[in-house]
Chain A
Amino acid sequence: MSEGDDAGQKFPAWLLTGAPGYQLAVGIHEVQEYMVAPPMLDVPLTPRHCQQLILWRDQFVPLFDLRRLHDLNLMRADPAPPVSGVIVLAYQREPGLALEYLALSLYAEPEKILVDDSAVVAWPTDYPRALHGLVRSLFAHDDGVVSVLDLAALASARYLNFLVVNGFTD
């Protein structure tokens, strides 16, 4: 689509690099804070993609590193690039319930973008299977595909069970 076309409605969002080569988008209202190097707390016997917490505003917030999921599509960069920072995101399990929080490790600085709702694309055949249950939709952006993430799904016990059963984490 050329820049002059304006077929769809545009919404502001944050573009996040959740793993090398994997970009996702979250709503402006979901972003709470971006931190370059917050203190992290290791928790033993936890899944490899979520083994740390950060202490944020007096509460423990689980820290996800999507690059650590067992999925070759997310492990392309070798050696792994350094994490650029951590972003705290808010979500609700259901409308009316209190806000909860999770944090994501990012591999690039977050970028504010406009999402065009006419740029929705179909699932690529090589899309990481580990992430299928997390994504609300996909859209095209700068020659790539961006995933709109369901944060409540990411933080759910159901998704962890899916990862364990399918061998995407351990």
Chain B
Amino acid sequence: MLRGGRGLALLGFGSRTLAVPLSSLVTIEHTGKLTQRQESSPGSFAVLDVAGQHTPVYAFTDAFTLFDQKRYPGHFCVVLRVDDSVGQFALTCATVEQLRTESEYIGLQMLPDCMQLPGCPFAGLFMRGEKLVLTADASSLLGYIERQCGQHE
């Protein structure tokens, strides 16, 4: 089960892989559990009921813009906790994988300063096989999503 502990959860979106801290992961559900778009959360295309809490669900395209289609991309819905006061949100993805960083060297490097546009949620990167993995924490991702939603309103 991919919950808690040290390490990263690897979320695969098409050709992209996003790594988030395992400690921010609340639960993983199948997208079959999603229900209709929640009007109160701009940019989200569905809602997931987790322990009585309505969690807005978002999805990213390959370019990390918000996916805005009725058909759910991916099979999994990963719920991430920002902190107790802000709450949680969910991302859909095609694959989810656990990476224990205490037992596996990943060669994490920081995203270079010259590539850090204001509001960019990514902090670091590493290679896993032939694929580039981008790291971000839940708070930065939610901030990025909210800014994207604001631009589309």
Contact = CB atoms under 8 A, between A and B. Distances in A.
Interface in A43-64: 43-47, 50-51, 53, 55, 58-60, 62, 64
B37 interface: no
Contact of A164 (B112, B117, B122, B134): B117
In which size bucket is the chain A interface?
20 to 34
B116 interface: yes
B98 to A, nearest CB: 23
In which size bucket is the chain B interface?
20 to 34
A154 B114 contact: yes
B116 A157 contact: yes
A156 interface: yes
Give chain B's interface secondary structure class: loop
A160 B112 CA distance: 11
With a 10 A CB-CB cut-off, give which of A44, A46, A62 has the most chain B CB atoms.
A44
A45 B120 contact: yes
Contact of B113 (A42, A45, A53, A155): A155
A41 interface: yes
A89 B56 CA distance: 45
Given A60-B125, A62-B112, 13 more contacts: A43-B132, A43-B134, A44-B16, A45-B121, A47-B115, A50-B114, A50-B115, A154-B114, A155-B113, A156-B114, A157-B114, A164-B117, A164-B118
